[in-house]
Amino acid sequence: MMHWLIVPVVLPAMLAPILAFVMRHDITLARTFSVAGTAALVAVALGLAAMAADGTTHVYRLGDWPAPFGIVLVLDRLSALMVLLTATLALIVLIHAIATGWDDRGRHFHALFQFQLMGICGAFLTGDIFNLFVFFEVLLIASYGLMIHSGGRERMRAGLQYVVMNLAGSTLFLFALGTLYASTGTLNIADLALRAAEIPPEEAALVRVAAMLLMIVFAVKAALFPVQFWLPATYANAPAPVAALFAIMTKVGAYAIIRVHTTAFGPGIEGTESVAAAWLFPAAIVTIAVGAFGVLGARRLMPLIAFSAVGSMGTLLVAVAAFTPEALTAALYYTVHSTFAAACLFLIADLVVTRRSGDRLGAAPATVQNGLFAALFFAGAIAMAGMPPLSGFLGKLLVLDAVRAPAQMPWAWTAILVGSLLTIVGFARAGSILFWKSTSIPHPIPDMHEHVPPKALPPAARAAEVAPAMLSLAALAALAVFAGPAASYLEATSAQVFDRAGYVSAVLGPATEE
């Protein structure tokens, strides 16, 4: 059995308690081991992606118990892609947190960071819905600790709202699991696909209820309307590196929708195939509108970026809602793009906000390196808004091309195009206030007759502080330059996701050595 498959879960799970109990008083040692562990996770993720590239579905059976009786981890192109995306983003964010000193402003940052990676990677690799719930709870605990890192009243208030909302989602998750197990007798995704297909449509009412409850739970994680209201306050008040890491958190919800509602309840399952699409598409359209108007009306920089993340999730889920291989290809391309774009903007915002008197969009004296920050901000804004030459433009083109069904096309095209226009206007307004109007306001000159020392200007950003944002932009540029090979890989990924028979055969087949 290929034991590398479990490493993305075990490595951070083993490293986190060591960081928490052995290295908690030595920040240098904690930083060294945390970076080394995350870099090792990137290397393992690259190896797993290479393993999955040939289209084989690899299964890891814990305790060598066969599915559906035992716990299984499943590696295919989709899960390998998401684990690699998580590891790469985590390394970029971790470098920024260390370079800016965010990791030293509270306790146990690196331990919580590793627990967060454990939960995210586990959610992407699990082949069982109950264990998906378990990894969701690991995510919730670790993310709350990261959310309130370094303290503060507003941060605690936003963190409480975040926890309450997600605990409600967890409660619904348990109700869904109980209903699903009572009606099908299994929670293994592959086995569930077989059982759901065998239930006549007229007898599948309980299964449809469970599928709808799961959709609501995943919608909470994906910040989909009408349960998206926790995200702007959470992301806006979280430490900037944490908000950048959270860019992958909403993708966990989107991944769960893709995996569960395509494999177990999707096309070809008569009793449940229409449950997700009927609600997902209109909710995604409204989510785009909420994000776009939020960007346009934001009066602070961090909420503006948070609302743009909400809008990007709407665009992604519009493509997912089509439930076709072509639309899923577009959704996966846009997933990679929007993750790096949101993270990049949060990292850039951190550099700007720490050199101003807060993140309020108002005229203020120009910061040091004003031109550099302006260039980075507008590059990130171009990516998020979907303008050429970066990957956002290609991603939205792919989404628009994938949703051509007569019932969807007018709504999807209008929402995406108008939403992009409003996002452009919102970012342009914010950028002009931050970087153009600020240049005309001189720094205050102290009165020489008063014995008050002049206020020191914020220090210039060091190369290590700017590098993570530039790496994110480089990833977006590379995604645009290599759009052809990326699209080809994602087409194969989508085809594998919709190959229900292949997934079921791989997971429920004989427990042989791989």
Under the banding of pLDDT at 50, 70 and 90, the label for residue 512 is: very low
**pLDDT value at position 144?**
87
Q: Name the packing angle between helices 230-237 and 153-184 (round to 10°).
A: 140
% of the chain exceeding 70 in pLDDT: 94
Query: Chain-wide mean pLDDT for the chain?
Result: 88
Residue 173 has pLDDT above 70, yes or no: yes
CB 96 within 8 A of CB 350: yes
pLDDT at 326: 93
User: Taking residues 371-392, what's their average pLDDT?
Assistant: 91
Band (pLDDT 50/70/90 cuts) for residue 440 is: low
Lowest mean per-residue pLDDT among 364-373, 451-460, 480-489: 451-460
Task: Please answer whether residues 364 and 438 qualify as being in contact, where contact means their C-beta atoms are separated by less than 8 angstroms.
Answer: yes
**Is residue 347 pLDDT above 70, yes or no?**
yes
pLDDT value at position 50? 93
Q: Which residues contact 316 (CB under 8 A, 6 or more apart)?
A: 254, 284, 331, 334, 335, 338, 399
- Give residue 441's pLDDT: 55
For the segment 328-344, the average pLDDT, to the nearest whole number, is 95
Residue 451 scores a pLDDT above 60 = no
Task: Indicate the pTM of the whole model.
Answer: 0.91
**H helix runs in 223-274, sequence order:** 230-237, 240-245, 249-259
Q: Average of pLDDT values for 300-328?
A: 93
User: Over 90: is that where the pLDDT of 140 sits?
Assistant: no
Q: What is the pLDDT of residue 228?
A: 84
Query: Which residue is it, tokens 């994000």?
Result: 291
Query: What integer pLDDT is reported at residue 514 of this predicted model?
Result: 39
Report whether pLDDT(471) > 70: yes
Mean pLDDT, residues 454-460: 63
Q: How far apart are CA 430 and CA 229, in angstroms?
A: 22
The whole-angstrom separation of Cα 378 and Cα 364 is 18
Which pLDDT does position 513 carry in this prediction? 37
CB 433 within 8 A of CB 339: no
* For residue 123, pLDDT beyond 50: yes
pLDDT classification of 357: cutoffs 50, 70, 90: confident
DSSP letter (8 states) at residue 106: S
Whole-angstrom distance, CA of residue 508 vs CA of residue 61: 11
Decide if pLDDT at 137 tops 60.
yes
Q: For residues 33 and 366, which has the higher predicted lDDT (pLDDT)?
A: 33
Give mean pLDDT, residues 334-359. Answer: 90
Within a 10 A sphere around the Cβ of 451, how many other Cβ atoms?
Answer: 7
